[in-house]
Structure 1
Amino acid sequence: MSFENLPLLVLLLLSVLGNNQSVAIAAGLLLILKLLGLNALFPIIESKGISIGITILTFAILAPLATGRITLGNILSAFKSPITLIALASGIFVAWTAGRGLLFINASPEIVTSLVLGTVFGVCFLQGIAIGPLIAGGLVSLVVAFTNLIK
């Protein structure tokens, strides 16, 4: 194994030690693809991976609607209590922030390494989840916009 595989191996080790199955599976699969010489798949993963991942995540989030665990009554009750209104506003804000993050990442690809490293540390050591780079990118874009506003 060459030194170019070392970052994935370190991620795999950290994720196993940090008990984070998602990062372990991702790093392990990427390492296997690399070792098998299937490098032609990486541009496809890079260009379509986020979209496919978000679709799968949305599929899982909407599943309770399909099973009937979340009903129309549950949805309507989201507008009745202060906590559910805060949850609704938080969901809107985070989705909007993640959207800004995707735009920011596409416009400033040099920031991706820092976002990914921060997310990996958060996932491995703080029981976070790997959706972090999009939200982190959105927060960075908000900070950049704010600092440009006060200059």
Structure 2
Amino acid sequence: MAGEIVLVILIIVGIIGRANILATAASVLLILKLTNLHRFFPTLERRGLEIGLLFLMIAVLVPLVNGKIQSKDLWGTFFTMSGIFAVIGGILATYLNGQGLTMLRIEPQLMLGLVIGSIVGIVCFKGIPVGPLMAAAIAALLMKVYLWFR
């Protein structure tokens, strides 16, 4: 019963905080739980991140496919400072996301803190919720810095 209460709270917080993805995700999980379809939870836990990343990658590649970005424009970005920084940013982000994923696997209870932090970022700082994986990546980086200076 505690799980359902947490999901309802997340739905309410998501609606109030304009975090539609959070509210939708919590709603889907609540529906699965209440309709006795919770047998899908292990599959969602195991493959959900991959499915989400698949759709994210598709969304990022659409401008290339629909002609908004030309192939000649792609090669030109590698020879500009912003293009070089974009490549470096991609390398750093994927490395940090891997660290965040490792941290979430070791301490999954941290997810609630990441969600609350994301909601505060949306409501108070007009941030954009890019997902708990990047939040976990930043948390993992902060934890490493903390342990390094300790």
TM-score, length basis structure 1? 0.80
Q: Which residues of structure 2 form unaligned runs of 5+?
A: none
Q: Any conservation in 1 of the 2:11–2:22 contact (CA below 8 Å)?
A: yes
Pick closer, same or farther for the CA change 1:19–1:108 going to 2, 3 Å. Answer: closer
Change (3 A) 1:40 1:121: farther
Is the Cα contact below 8 Å between 1:14 and 1:124 reproduced in 2? no
Identical pairs, percent = 28
Counterpart code for 1:119: S
Three-state SS of the structure 2 residue aligned to 1:51 is helix
Asked if the contact 1:101/1:141 (under 8 Å) is kept, the reply is: yes
2:59 is the counterpart of 1:49: no
Distance 1:68 1:32, change over 3 A: same
Question: Which residue is equivalent to 1:84?
Answer: 83
Give secondary structure in 2 for the equivalent of 1:19.
coil
Quote the Cα distance in structure 2 between the aligned partners of 1:19 and 1:117. Answer: 13
1:40 aligned counterpart, secondary structure: helix
Tell me, yes or no, if the aligned pair for 1:105 and 1:112 is still in contact at 8 Å.
yes
Q: Distance in 1 between matches of 2:24 and 2:111?
A: 20
Output the amino acid matched with 1:18: G
Distance of 1:19 and 1:110 partners within structure 2: 23
Residues 137, 20 of structure 1: alpha-carbon distance in 2 compared, 3 angstrom cutoff:
closer
CA contact (8 A) 2:7 2:30 kept: yes
Distance 2:3 2:99 in 1: 31
How many residue pairs match? The answer is 149
User: Aligned-residue CA RMSD in angstroms?
Assistant: 2.4
With structure 2 as the length reference, what TM-score do the two structures score? Answer: 0.80
Amino acid at match of 1:44: T
Structure 2: how far apart are the matches of 1:112 and 1:21? 17
User: Retained in 1: the 8 A contact 2:18–2:122?
Assistant: no
| Partners of 1:20 and 1:127 within 8 A in 2 | no
> Cα deviations across residues 91-139 of structure 1 (Å, max 9, x unaligned)?
32222211221122223334333223323433455342242x2222222
Q: Answer yes or no: is the 8 Å Cα contact 1:123–1:130 preserved in 2.
A: no
Instruction: Give the gaps of 5 or more residues in structure 1.
Output: none
Change (3 A) 1:121 1:36: farther
